[in-house]
């Protein structure tokens, strides 16, 4: 049975984000095909997709390699996210379904409970699920896809400070859902923007030595969660 290229793409992307493949390292079709147990055809398609997403670059005489983002590029991603997430929440307030609300409320209850108990190991995945569901509730496939790509790239480039106050974060998630449930687009936009700005400084560049320094100095102290 032929394994689809999107499944191979997801597997390679996940390994890049987790650091299995170092920045700048070569990605040969033969070795990737062997690792994932597929032919070179879906690997080639996956690499093209990952190049369009910015995870992979093609270099002369080297072929496909893991990209090496600059500090400026990393900071730009956080700024873009602070602009798109409030838009997504505003649209969710206008287009969400009862099924979306049910999932969002369930995630908030679970997140708040685990935050109070100090079960931080589960909160990051819950937070990702919350923001993914909120994006889906926007009813905009293009916006949802852009936000998903941003989340992957930010997870690749940044770690999140474990000292961030999870109880406050999940209280803000609850406020976002309340606004979405009421159909208050402006309130949903404002609360989400405040949330993004508040948790901006919790992000720290991963392995600074592995991230190329851009030509312009960048202040990442004030960049989102």
Task: Please determine, for residue 216, whether its predicted confidence score (pLDDT) is greater than 50.
Answer: no
Q: What residue spans of 37-97 are helical by DSSP H? A: 40-53, 71-95
What is the residue-averaged pLDDT of the chain? 87
Q: Is 160 helix (H, G, I), strand (E, B) or coil?
A: strand
Strands 203-205 and 56-59: unpaired
In sequence order, what are the residues at sequence separation of 6 or more whose Cβ sits closer than 8 angstroms to the Cβ of residue 210? 22, 23, 68
Per-residue pLDDT of 118-142, as tens digits, reads: 766 678 889 989 999 999 999 999 9
Instruction: Give mean pLDDT, residues 166-177.
Output: 94
Q: Where are the beta strands (DSSP E) in the chain?
A: 56-59, 63-66, 158-160, 203-205
In sequence order, what are the residues at sequence separation of 6 or more whose Cβ sits closer than 8 angstroms to the Cβ of residue 118? none
CA distance linking residue 93 with residue 102, whole number of Å = 14
- What's the predicted TM-score (pTM) here? 0.80
Place of tokens 């720290």: 204
């Amino acid at each position: 049975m032929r394994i689809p290229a999107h499944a191979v793409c997801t597997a390679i992307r996940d390994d890049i984000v987790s650091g299995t493949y170092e920045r700048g390292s070569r990605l040969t079709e033969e070795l990737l095909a062997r690792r994932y147990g597929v032919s070179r055809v879906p690997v080639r398609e996956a690499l093209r997709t990952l190049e369009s997403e910015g995870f992979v670059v093609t270099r002369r005489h080297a072929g496909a390699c893991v990209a090496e983002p600059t500090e400026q590029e990393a900071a730009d991603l956080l700024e873009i996210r602070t602009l798109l997430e409030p838009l997504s929440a505003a649209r969710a307030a206008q287009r969400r379904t009862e099924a979306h609300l049910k999932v969002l409320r369930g995630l908030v209850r679970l997140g708040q409970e685990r935050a109070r108990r100090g079960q931080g190991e589960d909160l990051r995945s819950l937070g990702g699920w919350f923001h993914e569901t909120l994006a889906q509730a926007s009813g905009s496939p293009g916006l949802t896809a852009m936000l998903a790509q941003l989340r992957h790239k930010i997870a690749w480039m940044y770690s999140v400070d474990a000292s961030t106050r999870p109880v406050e974060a999940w209280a803000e998630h609850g406020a976002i859902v309340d606004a979405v449930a009421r159909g208050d687009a402006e309130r949903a936009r404002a609360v989400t923007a405040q949330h993004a700005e508040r948790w901006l400084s919790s992000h720290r560049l991963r392995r600074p030595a592995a991230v190329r320094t851009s030509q312009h100095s960048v202040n990442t102290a004030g960049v989102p969660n």
